[in-house]
Structure 1
C-alpha cells in the first residue's frame, strides 16, 4: 500500500469545519488580489496560523497548491477576512482532490521530473517558478522559465 496524505487532509478539513463543503476546481480564483491593507481583521489568528501551517506542510506532496498557499502565508502577521476566504477556497479545492499528490516511495533508480506552476500573468515578475523533483528525494531546486513560454514542457531525464 502506498502512503498518502488523504487522512491528513481529511483531518485538516474536519478541524477547520470544512469537511462537508462543496469542492472547487482550482485552489485559487484567477486574478485574486490579496492585500495587507484590508481593514477587516480576522479575529481568530490562531485558527489562521494553524490552518495555513498545516497547508504549508501539505505542499510537500501537493505542489498543485504551492502557489496559493504561498500567497496566504504572506499575511500571517495581519490576516483579514479576505485572506481567510482565500484559505477556505484552498480547503474547498482539497476536499475535491483528496487522492491527488506525489507519492513518495523508496526507489533504486532516480528520475528527474519538472513542474512549472505559473499564475498566468497576474504577477508582474518576469520568471515563473519551476520546481524539480528527483525520485523519492523530494524538491531539489528551483528554476525559472520565461513568462512568455506558456507551453513549458515537462522535463523528464533518466539518471
Structure 2
C-alpha cells in the first residue's frame, strides 16, 4: 500500500498598509494608542450624563511588543489615556467627526511643533494640522483632573 502525503499550500500575504510607522518611538506609541483607544471606545455607548468617576477614570494598556513593527516600536511600552469618556463626549459635542480624529492621528506620523508650553511641554500636531496633542507632567495631570469637571459643565 502506498503512502500518501498531503502538502498544505501556504500563501504568504504582505502587509497592505504600514501601520504606526514613525521615525520616533513616542510617535509610534501615540499612533498605536489612539488607534487602540478609538477601537475600545467605539464599542462603548455614550451615556447622556457622565458620572463623577468618569472625570477621574483612565485607560491604561501595557504592551509587550514581540516582533511587530520592531523597527519603529519599543519592545515594551504603556499607553495611558485620561478621562476617555469625558474627552469622547467633548469631541462628540463639539462636532469632531470620529473618523477624521482617528485618521488624523493614525494615517501619518504627527509632527513636533516648534513652540513649547509654559511648563516646557511639547506639542505634536497631526499631519493635516487639525489636532494637537500635548505632553504633560504628573502635576499637570492633577491640575487637569481638578478643572476638567467644571470645564465640561461650562462648555457643554
Higher helix share: 2
Higher radius of gyration, 1 or 2: 2
TM-score w.r.t. the length of structure 2 is: 0.25
TM-score w.r.t. the length of structure 1 is: 0.24
Question: Which structure exhibits the higher relative contact order, with contacts defined as CA atoms closer than 8 Å and separated by 6 or more residues?
Answer: 1
